[in-house]
Structure 1
Amino acid sequence: MTVVMCLTAALFVLAILWKIYQLTQAPHDRALRAVTACLVCTAGSFSTGFPPEKRALDAALGTGTASLLSNVLLLAAVYSLLTFFLHSAADRHRATRRARLEAVPLALTAIVITVATVTAPPGVRGRPYAQADLHTPQIAVFFVAAQLYLVYALATTARWTARYARMSQKPSATGLWITAGSLAGMAAANALRVVMDLTGWFGNGSAPAGLSHSVALLFALAVPAFVVGLSYPGLAMRLAGFRIWRQHRRTYQRLRPLWDLLHDAFPQDALGRTPGGKWREAFRMRGVHRSYYRRVIECRDGLVRVSPYLAQLGVQDGATPQAVAEHLRAALCAQAAGTPATTEALAVALPGEDSIDADARQLVAVAEALVKTA
């Protein structure tokens, strides 16, 4: 467990450092401030679970201090999450005013659980939730107050997240709806915990086992869903970007037969450095899009240059890729021999729509037809 906690702490440190760096680039971004505060508070709450820190806090400031600080920081983290979605879904003035109002229940809850901790008997302070003596009023008030705030803050955040989701487009909307559902699930889990606390406080026995199982199930579903919801838009965009990257790389490679011919004939039309070998092209990760656009443009320029010679061989304006491929080598030979062109440039292998990807598909058809006619 210590190894897992250390790894988690390291991840928190890296995430916080990254957010601090982003804040230095955008110091007035209130949503980014809220995310950074949420991470800092969550990391602080987590760190109080380390036995050395917990013992040091309890020894220096009294038994139960570590538990109190952990819960106050957790409440602050949820408040920061709430303000993040406020700043994301509302205009700046309204979000700022609402964030100040939302600080009031946070402050009141922090005061209540602090008073409950201070006035509780030392022997029952600071116990984990599963071992808490809920028959002691101060302990019951501590957990009920903290969880009531969590229910309120999480439910409010879920509502604002759903509102932001309705304003967004996919894939952001999908991730936000998942996040909203997970927050609602966590709010429901904490609401059931309030019922369990009240049962333990006023009842003679423990809470029904069904309640405990329901809470565990809700948290088991909601927490991973929350992570998935936050990660989904970025992952979806990365996946879409990878698909485009793969498509451009494949098209770049498929154009090589056509590009080789045209580049040998018109080397002056090259827009950049001559590509390396096939293995290098296959595994190069950077600059794929730039290489793709350059190759498409160079192939199209080459066809425009050789089109008068294609016309002399009987190729008509608007000819198909197959017709171009059948006469391209002969046209390039005529051009290389210095035969004068008696016609103007033709529009050949034209795409049906005005886009570079559609143009690339026509050029690929020429390249594939060239391979077949070799």
Structure 2
Amino acid sequence: MHEVLYPALAAVAWIGLAVKLRDLRRGRNPSRVAVCGALALLASTFTVSTPAVWSWLDRTTGVANLAALWAHLCVVAFSGTVQLLVLWWVNPPEAARPRARARLVLLAVTAVAMVALFLAAGPTEPRTTDFVATYAGRPVFAAYLLVYLAAFALGMVDVVRLCWPYSRLAGRSWLRRGLRTTAVGAASGLLYAAVRVADVIGAQMGADVRRWEPIAPPAASLGALLVILGLTMPAWGPRLSEFRGWLRRRRQYRQLQPLWADLHRLMPQIALEPPATTPLGDLDRRLYRRVIELYDGSLALRPYLDEAAAGRAGRIGARLGLRADDLAAVMEAARLRGAVHAYAHGEPRATVEEGGDEPPPGRLDEGADLAQEVARLVRVSRAYAGSPVVAAAVAGRDALPAEETEVAM
């Protein structure tokens, strides 16, 4: 487990650090520096905890299990750094500075105590994967571990206490998600601390603490991964949102294709530039142009709009229980599909059914919301291309065949 899990987490932490280091180019502030420091400490922790690196450090320094001290000091420093980071996130600078200094003093005292206890514990044999379980029974090592775990656990409790409540107040959505993810990661770290405390207590009582040893590495790893994601989320989260938005706009552009293709075939002049079936760039402008072209085409079709087909589609859709948006879409699609047929065959202007409404305007209003209009036109285009309700209405039927009723929309 250690041979695979720890190197993977070290790589993730180093990548996260590389991502955040780019933010420092835009200017240094305590929060950005703290994030970079926390990620560097976490990456160092998992790097030296990798069995191959652990063994290499033992051979190079001649001090058995020095990697354990290094990793534990990094964990405590990481815990303190995350506390400092959250303090700068949730407090104004004048309140954050004195609290940060108090935590730095506590970190320094903890580090000195850990080093002194580690050296006083005496020599050990190299243990790359079960150091704690092997030496937790020694009183001095037990004291060392308890100091380490107390500092780490207090830090994680502080992170949970600060992150989760403040996430409700965070303005940016990705900062809010990052704070909550960090809090969940800190809670997972508390599970790791609980297992290690159980190691110490159980070893003093003569229990075989290796039985619950498999719990500690996954708990520590999950907590570290979530903290890494939480700390970096405000940096990469908005880019993810942008990518998801790009995918949504590309899908909408393609979903408008069936209706646009028929209008363009009848009236090529509506397109001011060569069409792109699968656009990759400048999607906002292309999507806007496609909406305008659809309105230009529908405006040219106004004399031919088939209100009789729209009425039939409305009656069929109402009997099927279609939602209001879908019902409006099948009516508009039937109206346009009938108009396309009439225009293509040179048929005279369609008539409005008795009691029917006048055809809707064919242009996007100045104040209309483009995103809502795109969503509406997508529904119309999908109904235009594949709705059996539209097909039946344009064919002059007032009902669907029984076998088509269940798949109408």
TM-score by length of 1: 0.71
Name the counterpart of 2:323.
Answer: none
Q: Distance in 1 between matches of 2:100 and 2:272?
A: 54
Q: Deviations over 1:298-356 (max 9, x none)?
A: 1113323453x448x9999x99443343234545787xxxxxxxxxx9614989x9433
Q: Report matched runs for 1:57-136 at 5 Å.
A: 58-59=61-62, 62-63=63-64, 65-123=66-124, 128-132=131-135, 134-136=137-139
How many Å separate the matches in 1 of 2:38 and 2:227? 17
1:5 and 1:362 map into 2 onto residues whose CA distance is 51
Equivalent positions of 1:1-374 (< 5 A) are 9-24=10-25, 26-49=26-49, 50-56=53-59, 58-59=61-62, 62-63=63-64, 65-123=66-124, 128-132=131-135, 134-137=137-140, 139-168=141-170, 176-177=179-180, 179-191=182-194, 193-194=196-197, 196-197=199-200, 200=203, 203=204, 205-207=205-207, 213=212, 217=215, 220=218, 223-224=221-222, 227=225, 231=229, 248-264=249-265, 267-276=268-277, 281=278, 286-288=281-283, 290-307=285-302, 309-310=303-304, 320-328=332-340, 330-331=342-343, 347-348=361-362, 354-360=368-374, 361-362=376-377, 364-365=379-380, 368-369=383-384, 372=391
Post-superposition offset of 1:106: 0.8
CA displacement at 1:37 relative to structure 2: 0.9
Q: CA contact under 8 A between 2:54 and 2:67: conserved in structure 1?
A: no
Closer, same or farther: CA 119–227 of 1 in aligned 2, 3 Å = closer
Shift of 1:151: 1.2
Work out the CA distance in 2 between the residues paired with 1:370 and 1:120: 78
Write out per-residue CA displacement over residues 259-308 of structure 1, whole angstroms, 9 at most, x where no aligned residue. Answer: 234435655543544224xxxx2xx555555533331221113323453x
**Residues 95 and 301 of structure 1: is their aligned pair in 2 closer, same or farther, counting only changes over 3 Å?**
farther
Answer yes or no: is the 8 Å Cα contact 1:64–1:125 preserved in 2: yes
Residues 114-142 of structure 1 show CA distances to partners (whole Å, capped at 9, x for unaligned) of: 122333323579882122164343x2322
Identity of aligned residues (%): 21
**Matched position secondary structure for 1:122:** coil
Greater mean alpha carbon deviation, residues 218-227 or residues 114-123 = 218-227
Question: Aligned in 2, Cα 1:227/1:73: closer, same or farther, shift over 3 Å?
Answer: closer
Structure 2 partner of 1:337? none
Flag the 1:320–1:100 CA change in 2: closer, same or farther, 3 A. same
Q: What secondary structure is seen at the aligned counterpart in 2 of 1:164?
A: helix
Gaps of 5+ in 1: 335-344
CA shift for structure 1 position 28: 2.1
Q: What RMSD, in angstroms, separates the aligned Cα atoms of the two structures?
A: 4.6
Under a length normalisation based on structure 2, what TM-score does the superposition of the two structures give?
0.66
Alpha-carbon spacing, 1:179–1:16, altered in 2? closer, same or farther (3 Å):
closer
Unaligned 5+ runs, structure 2: 311-327, 347-358, 396-409
The one of the two structures with greater contact order (alpha-carbon pairs below 8 A, sep at least 6) is 2
Kept in 1: contact 2:195–2:216 (CA 8 A): no
Cα pair distance change 1:7/1:157, threshold 3 Å = closer
After superposition, the Cα gap between the structure-2 partners of 1:186 and 1:13, relative to the gap in structure 1 and judged at 3 Å, is: closer
Give the Cα separation in 2 of the matches to 1:72 and 1:225: 17
How far apart are residue 168 of structure 1 and its match? 4.3
- Paired residue type of 2:222: P
The alignment of Structure 1 onto Structure 2 pairs a total of residues equal to 347
Show CA shifts across 1:214-250 (max 9, x none): x854764574366357658789988977776565444
